[in-house]
Chain A
Amino acid sequence: MSTPSTPTPFEPVIIGFTCNWCSYRAADLAGTARIKYPPNVRLIRVMCSGRIDPTLVLKALSEGADGVLIAGCHPGECHYLEQNYKALRRHRLLQKTLAQFGIEPARVRLAWASAAEGAKFAGEIAAMVDQVKALGPLNWPARPVPEGRAHADEVAA
């Protein structure tokens, strides 16, 4: 429907890290319930959002992703007791690091969704896509992933 003069609208590519127990299952449930959301997010399953270390996020951004979504169980509902709090703290720190890299912190979004919250998960994805669309393409030149792990000692706790 777009006229030849208008350029193709920007469709961001987003990598979504989901935990095995809540958010990945929420994504499954969104599917089972046939809840539609934009196709811009590609999901990776890990066991727990506590597994997400900043290097993985930087890797995704450096490989061409325009944004990264990290989704875990609700605080207090982590299947590994409280590891999602670690994800929360790392996310805070990571946002500061991103700002230093000149990347808008809003490109990395943290969301909570329980296994029963398919609709919420779909909503988070839609919001994330809108958010990244508003920011435009990242165009972060491909660069080697930092050798050491950024601020690992600070993010550990």
Chain B
Amino acid sequence: MASDKQPEGQERIGVYVCHCGSNIAGVVDVESVARFAADDLKDRGVVLARDYTFMCSVAGQELIEQDIHEQRLTRVVVAACSPHLHEKTFRGVCERSGVNPYLSEMASIREHVAWVHADKAAATAKAKAIVSGTVERVLQNDPLEAIKVPIDAQTLVVGGGIAGIQAALEVAEAGYDVVLVEREASLGGHMAQFDKTFPTLDCAACILTPKMAAAGAHPKIHLYTWSEVEKVEGFVGSYTVTVRKKPRYVDEDICTGCGICVEKCPVLVVDDKFEAGIGYRKAIYWPFAQAVPNLPVLDPDTCTYYVGGKGGAGGGCKACEKFCPTVPNSIKFDQTEERVTLRVGNIILATGWDLFDARRIPQYGYGRLANVFTNLELERMCNAAGPTGGRVVLRDGQNAPKRVGIVHCVGSRDRHYNRHCSAICCMQSLKLAHLVKERTGAEVYNFYIDIRTPGKEYDEFYQRVLDDGVHFVRGKVAEITDVPFDPAEAGREVEGTLYVQVEDTLAGLQRRIPVDMVVLSAGLEPRRDSAAVGKTFGIACSTSGWFIEKHAKMDPIATMTEGVFIAGCAAGPKDIPASVSQGSAAAARVLNYIRQGELALEPVRASVLEAQCSGCRICNGLCPFNAISFVAERQVSEINAALCQGCGTCVAACPAGAIQGTGFSDAQLFAQIEGLLRDVQREPEAA
């Protein structure tokens, strides 16, 4: 072995081979591995090697502690499970015993050997190679200290839906400042659009409005609605955030929210935001009745002042301005966008979801057939404050449907659109079935592939809907058409009947079920701009567009970027209780950081050896976190340790070898390669 750093006799390594019951010992000859380490790796500094049933047990940990004390170990290798499970455990053992925790290493011989190989001899040989590689690596480890950064107590919450509101309230209630940024003109998010919530049938507004009001009035919550985060700089503890406030054309400080301007505005347009396209609003409008803040917003795309009414652009009716009773006038036609710069220590992203565009499935006829609606349209229709005053009617606005088909999984669980299950549509469809039945007495058919009701009291609600007499047809709807198949079918039905063509898979029959109204349970999709938003905040999206958690199971709130957390549907479809829980959980994580005052970061970081740096700046553009900058006066590049996330790309790219990647240095990796290939017989060089 031609390693740069010879142990020179002073390093004393202990190797521990775990049986993990029979998990490892059933396939790998653990005694043989321990003997190999003790005998063959003696010249590499291994002074003792043991095998033990469960290294992670208290007894196993004590074994190491004892050896450190009695055998004066300086480095420790544990051959057991994946470091993702127990690296922290064994680092802790070292730390308690006075050995720098970063002088320990794990060799994964369970996940990467015992569980994936059946041939015992081959598995044992591979385990030995891995142990050998890990011993070489640990010899090259440097003692490290965790990096400490101070945490600014102010928190940014992005998204004012239920998850964001919850997070903001939790942090504010604990006594810390929160900046809550919402893209729309009011807090509330999608939940504000719903009528009732499953499975309890609470009125969505009744349970949401108090939270919106509390967030709006909280002295610690600084609200920026009709605003977007434009730029994020810095790192955990001290982010600098630029918020862009879009012009509302209404002075927030003067306006009293009396609503005369809205009343007097003569321009009526379809509200395809809050009313999901089935209601109208004015050119100056309230986002909705309970909006927080209680301020109207003016839409320059439809206001006659901007699009040009009588007298051309700049003319227009100006009725809002004329009738505004405040002094000075609240209407500000010349308002422009503003930028606000803020300092925050942590960021919670609760940016939510978009509804699948049902027009993408032409055979379902949405947009073509008048009486095909989306779930969101029906939510608005059911809502007493909605465009129909809570009446469920056909597109004609008059007649109630006598037969309604509800189609599940629209745009979900389908390789052509989204492969994921949208998680809430089964329950939403059941709820809508119940509401339609209750309001109209119509025959209701639910067309489903599987009914998924895995929440508290969810299946009980399904039972209740069965009691209501709602029909269930198991089959993914093939098409919805207004064309009768033949004169006989036409004769049976009235003009305008819709036929839901489906295979009733439980009966094994193709059926055409005539209905008056179809409701498409369109699924949840990632926000269309999620990739760009992810880039702004330095977090990653999956190819499907949902944000990626640090760990899907064990750390679903954190992201790969320290100090940036996600809550609610931004990481995938969730129902209201889950979104609320995540909002609280994200707040708890942030409060934890704030209370600590400073944060210890993993010291896996890159750093520049200035003496070797030639100032070529190749590394400068490579860093995804903008951690590398060029210091002009010294003509070298410099890495900000707090910004660096330790990916090592710059280490690999530096032509001078001037960048050191702590924890994954060239020396460590080279040594590990040598150790791993210790057993490989190389052909003698050609004579």
Chain A residues within 8 Å of B, Cβ to Cβ: 13, 15, 21, 24-25, 27-28, 30-32, 34-39, 42-48, 50-53, 55-56, 59-60, 63-65, 74, 76-83, 86, 90, 115-116, 122, 137, 139, 141-142, 145, 148-149, 152-153, 155-157
Q: Contacting A81 at CB < 8 Å: which of B112, B115, B538, B604?
A: B538
Contact B661 A51 (CB under 8 A): yes
Q: Mind listing 10 A-B residue pairs with CB under 8 Å?
A: A28-B84, A28-B108, A39-B119, A51-B664, A64-B681, A79-B647, A80-B649, A86-B622, A139-B682, A141-B682
Instruction: Give the CA-CA distance A69 to B117 in the complex, in Å.
Output: 18
> Within the complex, what minimum Cβ distance (angstroms) separates B30 from chain A?
16
Instruction: Give the CA-CA distance A123 to B380 in the complex, in Å.
Output: 49
> Within the complex, what minimum Cβ distance (angstroms) separates A28 from chain B?
5
Contact A31 B653 (CB under 8 A): no
Most buried by A among B117, B552, B645, B649: B649
Chain B residues within 8 Å of A, Cβ to Cβ: 82-84, 108, 110-119, 122-123, 125-126, 129-130, 133, 535, 538, 540-543, 548, 552, 560, 604, 616, 618-619, 621-622, 624-625, 645-649, 651-655, 657, 661, 663-664, 666, 669-670, 672-674, 676-677, 680-683, 685-686
Instruction: Give the CA-CA distance A116 to B118 in the complex, in Å.
Output: 23
Contact A77 B543 (CB under 8 A): yes
Chain A residues, Cβ within 8 Å of B666: 55-56
Given contacts A51-B661, A153-B655, contact A77 B548 (CB under 8 A): yes
Instruction: Give the CA-CA distance A143 to B143 in the complex, in Å.
Output: 32
Contact A43 B112 (CB under 8 A): yes
Contact B560 A79 (CB under 8 A): yes
Chain B residues, Cβ within 8 Å of A86: 622, 649, 652-653
Most buried by A among B538, B670, B686: B670
Contact B111 A156 (CB under 8 A): no
Chain A residues, Cβ within 8 Å of B119: 39
Contact A80 B560 (CB under 8 A): yes
Chain B residues, Cβ within 8 Å of A59: 670, 673
Instruction: Give the CA-CA distance A127 to B640 in the complex, in Å.
Output: 41
Considering the complex, give the chain A residue whose CB is closest to the CB of B645.
A80
Q: Contacting B117 at CB < 8 Å: which of A39, A50, A55, A148?
A: A39
Contact A44 B133 (CB under 8 A): yes
> Within the complex, what minimum Cβ distance (angstroms) separates B619 from chain A?
8
Considering the complex, give the chain A residue whose CB is closest to the CB of B624.
A81
Contact B669 A63 (CB under 8 A): no
Q: Contacting A80 at CB < 8 Å: which of B117, B130, B624, B682?
A: B624
> Within the complex, what minimum Cβ distance (angstroms) separates B350 from chain A?
21
> Within the complex, what minimum Cβ distance (angstroms) separates A29 from chain B?
8
Contact A56 B117 (CB under 8 A): no
Contact A31 B115 (CB under 8 A): yes
Instruction: Give the CA-CA distance A83 to B627 in the complex, in Å.
Output: 14
Contact B655 A142 (CB under 8 A): no
Chain B residues, Cβ within 8 Å of A42: 126, 129-130, 133, 676-677
Considering the complex, give the chain B residue whose CB is closest to the CB of A33.
B115
